[in-house]
Amino acid sequence: MIAEFFTGVRMLLRGFGLWRTRPGLMVLGLIPALIAMAIIAAALIPYGFALGPITGWLTPFADGWDTPWRMLLRGAIGVVLFIAVAALAVAIFTALALAIGSPFYDRIWKAVETDLGGVPEGRGSGFRASLGESLRLVVFGARNAVVVLLIGLIPVIGGAIGAVTGVLLSGKLLARELSGRSFDARAIDREERSRTLAASRARVLGFGVATQLCFMVPLGALFTMPAAVAGSTLLARSLIDGADASPAEAPNADA
């Protein structure tokens, strides 16, 4: 299981390899990611500054407490609230990037599929399918945020457990939705797709957790998104038919 987990991590690392072999193609993937990041930052930054008043409003009973205990309580609640919203923000960022950048990410997907033996004859994701994936991301991202928030409210240990849970849930969601193009192109329905992903949970989770952690690094989401599209294609192909070619070994092409 551990070996499978790190196989998933390597899928993302191999996706990053396209920054070296096909930089022009990957730069195209920065455009939708940059737009999505700007929108998310415009919402998160004011939210971060508003956490103090929010936690104060949520804990009026602590107004009369001694300063250290009041600050400790409200600080812990603020961390939990931020972690929960961050889990939702990652889902919304990915959803926005997929919706805005469908043509760009289709080019990255096709390049990796070509390196692995050819693009399947299916229709691919298309704008409508990408929009559906984006909506599912937001819905399940909201669910994950609620779960993280509830866990985070557990006294003492809730914050740590909530943070780990948020990474795991978000990682699983990212892996599932980002890999959709390869499944759609082969006319694999969502039930079969779920069974395929469930059969290699550790590998899927390894890819998803690595992607989520990269997203959490400042500006990491910007450069990780194109690599995640490439890596998720590798992941899907490895699950569907055992393909294991690295895009880094492919000839230099930009289409």
Per-residue pLDDT of 163-191, as tens digits, reads 899 899 999 999 998 988 888 888 888 88
* Nearest-angstrom CA–CA distance, 55 and 238: 46
> What pLDDT is attached to residue 127?
59
Q: What is the DSSP string of 194-217?
A: HHHHHTTHHHHHHHHHHHHHHHHS
Percent of the chain with pLDDT over 70: 90
CA nearest 234: which of 224, 221, 223, 244? 244
State the pLDDT at residue 78: 86
pLDDT of amino acid 248:
41
The pTM of the full predicted model, rounded to 2 decimals, is: 0.83
- Could you tell me if 211 and 169 are in contact, meaning their C-beta atoms sit under 8 angstroms apart? no
Give me the mean pLDDT over the 1-19 stretch: 93
The distance from CA 196 to its chain's CA centroid, rounded to whole angstroms, is 19
d(CA 209, CA 224): 13
Distance from C-alpha of 169 to C-alpha of 167, rounded to nearest angstrom:
6
Instruction: Give CA–CA dist 134/69, Å, rounded.
Output: 42
Closest CA to 226 of 10, 30, 14, 9: 30
pLDDT at 196 over 80: yes
Q: Both tokens of residue 246?
A: 């690295």
Residue 70: what pLDDT? 86
Average pLDDT across the chain, whole number:
85
Domain ranges of the chain: 2-243
